[in-house]
């Protein structure tokens, strides 16, 4: 009997997970709501089986298909939603289950107020819902915690185990399912007296199920979700190709960058400056702006050609970025002009930063034959020079003009104007 139960459990996992993957695959045609409805429909059965239906396994242990097949599979499916969609979509069924369970308990409380006429052959008894309803709410609360932990663990493991995506998913599931088993079994033991052997059996079954679902999920991702006309990616590359949220963030980051220098492009100047100044006004901290012009850069293009000029600009932008803190921002303001936002930096310190950047540019290793480059820098600081971006830019621009008119290769701040 134990051997046949193993075969049946594997068949149940294959049927359940395969059907749900098919619905997810058809989400563009049927809508993802169909997938979510099917997932939610099985929640009641999952909780009922976990509380009342156990099967015998080898070595004298027992487990519930509700926990091993349905719950473990549900967790794997929610990870799939996160990978292919995003966290906002993945949390929708969790909120729906939690609110639905709370509504169920509220309705049962109202149903108890009826004067019941017993149905033929069946007593009108809602006592079973007392335990099952509470377990459903508790399991959904655990699911909410599980999903947060699952996403955090998955994100932590992916860059470290990117060559082994199956191991990434299995390890994520194993950790989260171990936590969930401890929390859910404790409730089962207290509410229904489920023995510890069943708790251990459920945990062992979930760990095995995690491996089975990790295998199926990874195969599905590499086989059916690898969208594109390019060459088929290796299994080890699927997460780079498939994680929508990661792709979105990468594309968003690229769209904010200047194609040549890789610093922020001009379009980011206004929204970034506005946000930084708003935060500074709230916290009472300064924000310094450095407007930077590469002196006589036109000569580089004229004497060495635009390809060399482009390479020099890339080197200068990288040198500026490397000389700043992680919380500072470099924007390509014009052809050979850059703007630097330094949040929390006073005017005096900003002048020191400008001087340091100027020296780093002089020391930068440039292509053969290209002379040493110098900078003219105008520095302004909020709120001293104004609390709006327009006022700050105007003050810095005037000081930059003074620096260039005074012979270039210098830093001009408030004390020199």
| Mean pLDDT for the chain overall | 83
260-416 domain in CATH 3.20.20.70? no
Please list the residues that pair with 412 across neighbouring strands: 378
Give the pLDDT of residue 241.
Answer: 38
How far apart are the C-alpha atoms of 292 and 80, rounded to whole Å? 47
Residue 112's pLDDT band (cuts 50, 70, 90): confident
The two three-digit tokens of residue 230, written as one number: 């390019």
* Contact residues for 23 (Cβ-Cβ < 8 A; gap 6+): 30, 34, 35, 38
Residue 240's pLDDT band (cuts 50, 70, 90): very low
39 alpha carbon, distance to own chain's centre: 23
Give per-residue pLDDT as tens, 190-217: 766 666 666 677 788 889 999 999 999 9
Give the pLDDT of residue 86.
Answer: 66
How far apart are the C-alpha atoms of 336 and 238, rounded to whole Å? 40
DSSP 225: S
Cα angle, residue 372 at apex, residues 370 and 373 outer, rounded to 5°: 105
Give the pLDDT of residue 239.
Answer: 39
The two three-digit tokens of residue 363, written as one number: 């020391």
Residue 183's pLDDT band (cuts 50, 70, 90): confident
Give per-residue pLDDT as tens, 253-312: 556 788 899 899 998 899 889 989 988 888 889 999 999 999 999 999 999 999 999 999
Q: Tell me which residue of 273, 366, 272 sits closest to 312, measured CA to CA.
A: 366
Give the pLDDT of residue 98.
Answer: 77
DSSP H/E element including 84: helix 72-84
Give the pLDDT of residue 233.
Answer: 40
Mean pLDDT for 343-361 is 94
Where in the sequence of the chain do the CATH 3.30.70.270 domains occur? 260-416
DSSP 323: T
DSSP H/E element including 411: strand 410-412
Contacts 24+ apart (CB under 8 A), 182-185: 183/138, 183/142, 183/145, 184/50, 184/67, 184/138, 184/139, 184/142
Give per-residue pLDDT as tens, 37-95: 998 888 778 877 877 788 887 877 788 888 889 989 988 998 888 887 766 777 788 78
What percent of the chain is modeled with pLDDT above 70? 83
* Contact residues for 267 (Cβ-Cβ < 8 A; gap 6+): 256
Q: Tell me which residue of 126, 129, 202, 211 sits closest to 170, measured CA to CA.
A: 211
How far apart are the C-alpha atoms of 276 and 116, rounded to whole Å? 65
Q: Tell me which residue of 186, 177, 13 sits closest to 79, measured CA to CA.
A: 177
DSSP H/E element including 376: strand 375-382
Sheet of 375-382: strands edge to edge? 329-332, 337-343, 287-294, 375-382, 410-412
Q: Is the pLDDT of residue 3 over 60?
A: yes
Beta strands in 234-369 (DSSP E): 287-294, 329-332, 337-343
Alpha-carbon distances of 287 from 85, 150, 278, 397, rounded to whole Å: 37, 38, 10, 16
């Amino acid at each position: 009997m134990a051997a046949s139960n193993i075969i049946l459990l594997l068949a149940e996992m294959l049927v359940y997970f395969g059907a749900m993957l098919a619905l997810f695959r058809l989400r563009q045609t049927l809508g993802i709501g169909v997938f979510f409805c099917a997932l939610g429909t099985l929640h009641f059965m999952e909780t009922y089986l976990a509380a009342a239906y156990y099967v015998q396994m080898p070595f004298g242990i027992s487990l519930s298909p509700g926990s091993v097949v349905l719950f473990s599979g549900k967790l794997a499916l929610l990870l799939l939603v996160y990978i292919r969609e995003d966290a906002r979509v993945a949390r929708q069924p969790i909120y729906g289950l939690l609110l639905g369970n709370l509504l169920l308990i509220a309705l049962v409380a109202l149903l108890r107020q009826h004067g019941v006429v017993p149905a033929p052959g069946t007593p009108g008894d809602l006592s079973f819902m007392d335990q099952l309803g509470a377990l459903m709410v508790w399991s959904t609360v655990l699911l909410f915690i599980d999903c947060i932990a699952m996403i955090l663990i998955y994100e932590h493991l992916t860059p470290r185990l990117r060559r082994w995506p199956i191991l990434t998913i299995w390890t994520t599931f194993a950790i989260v399912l171990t936590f969930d088993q401890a929390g859910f079994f404790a409730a089962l033991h207290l509410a229904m007296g489920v023995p510890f052997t069943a708790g251990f059996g459920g945990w062992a079954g979930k760990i095995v199920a995690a491996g089975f679902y990790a295998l199926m999920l990874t195969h599905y991702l590499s086989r059916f979700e690898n969208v594109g006309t390019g060459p088929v990616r290796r299994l080890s590359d699927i997460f780079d190709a498939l994680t929508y949220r990661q792709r979105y963030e990468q594309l968003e980051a690229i769209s904010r960058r200047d194609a040549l220098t890789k610093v922020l492009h001009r379009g980011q100047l206004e929204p970034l400056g506005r946000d930084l100044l708003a935060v500074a006004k709230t916290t009472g901290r300064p924000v310094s702006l450095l407007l930077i012009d590469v002196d006589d850069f036109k000569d580089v293009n004229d004497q060495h050609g635009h390809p060399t000029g482009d390479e020099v600009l890339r080197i200068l932008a990288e040198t500026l970025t490397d000389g700043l803190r992680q919380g500072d921002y470099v924007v390509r303001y014009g052809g050979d002009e850059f703007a630097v936002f330094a949040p929390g930096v006073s005017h005096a310190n900003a002048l020191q930063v400008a001087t340091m950047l100027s020296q780093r540019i002089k020391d930068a290793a440039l292509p053969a034959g290209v002379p040493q480059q110098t900078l003219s820098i105008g520095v302004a600081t909020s709120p001293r020079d104004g609390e709006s971006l327009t006022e700050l830019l105007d003050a810095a621009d005037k000081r930059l003009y003074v620096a260039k008119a005074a012979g270039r290769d210098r830093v001009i701040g408030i004390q020199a104007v």
